[in-house]
Amino acid sequence: MALLWDTSLLLRKVKDLRCLTPRRHRVKEKWAATRPKLPPTRLAVHHFDATYSTQLGQLWPSVRLAMLSERKYGALLNNFSHNAVLAELKAQGCVDFISERETEVPSCLEEKSEEPSDVSMKSSDVDGEQLSLSPNIKCLVFPRGDVTRFKPARPDKNGLLGYYLMDAASLLPCLALDVQEGHSVLDLCAAPGGKTLALLQTQAIRFLCINDSSVSRTLRLRKVLHSYVPKQLLTNENLRITSFDGTKWGEIESNTFDRVLVDVPCTTDRHSLMEDDNNIFSKSRTGERRRLPQLQLELLLAGIRAACPGGEILYSTCTLSQNQNLSVVEQAIYQAREKDGIHLQVVDLRPLTRMFGNTFHFAPDLHLGEMIIPHLAANFGPIYMCKLKRLT
């Protein structure tokens, strides 16, 4: 009994029993059961650092800092609301960046090449006078460098909100689309509804088709429209809301629309950096993320087929990724010509950069389309856009 007591006392004092274990039975300690799990936002940062540092070069550190900072918003005025919010917002120091724009061109834009780099992508002769902006679209922003937040919009006597808060750069694709009186318009990937609402503000569209392939996102879109647009307009036969597969639209309605907006699903760079919920960089969505360029190409080709000869298509994303921007447009131009016999002309969007160069920060030296990149003094974007015209 005494011998057992002495043995247990000895074992308590000896903390490392490996010296008492035969060498052939010793095993290495297990350091970790699994690899440490990184949140999707961290994975997005790593991916963007590896990709955009090469793509943007010296611009990336400042763009990265801006994207990790609080974004800036604009207030799209709702013409259907009876609230007199314009004077109220201007009293707070806001300006309508569309009607009160300055025409001085920032130096970074003056250095842009005047000739397109590819003959097959020759730009059309669009200048500032030919690109007419709808006087009914008004979007107020705080001045450059002012990070004041907007207050939530209030409903009027009919329950319609006075303005819609959105990234003001998201409005540029709608302005670039250049909708004219009597046009028929297709918004192929419409949710969450900001650009659709902007198109409705023009009050010039003869027929508007609003589509999103996701049923849940379409429901959210309907909810947004009901908060801003009168019921009689939403039930009008000149407005149609659908939830079809956008990649098949060319088979549903081809050669139909004067204007087509193709605002495709993308990596939504800001959301991917800031929010873990519904993040495309989640491990479970890796396959979906890798398939994005192919999906974007199919959607753009469907939009091209849906446009009538002489019609115009506006492709846009909210990512900096060259694979989702320029590469998709280049492939679409080639495939439309080779497979469908559709010839396209790239429309020069430099007039927009000259109009709004003091509100937004544009990426220099893009040979195809234009891109608003985030900047701490003008923290809008990223938004990429490229306009195509179907030749007759």
Dist. CA 5–CA 1, nearest whole Å: 6
Strands 123-124 and 74-77: unpaired
- The answer to whether 263 and 316 have CB atoms below 8 angstroms apart is yes
Of the candidates 257, 255, 278, 252, the residue with the CA atom closest to the CA atom of residue 191: 278
CA atoms of 164 and 193, how far apart (whole Å): 10
The catalytic position among 174, 189, 209, 318 is 318
> What separation, in Å, do the N-terminal and C-terminal C-alpha atoms of the chain show?
104
**CB half-sphere exposure, 371, CA atoms < 13 A:** 22
Closest CA to 342 of 301, 379, 283: 301
Beta-carbon neighbour count of residue 341 at 10 Å? 7
Q: Is 19 a known active-site residue?
A: no
Residues with Cβ < 8 Å from 311, sequence gap 6 or more? 257, 258, 259, 260, 389, 390
Catalytic residue numbers, as ranges = 318
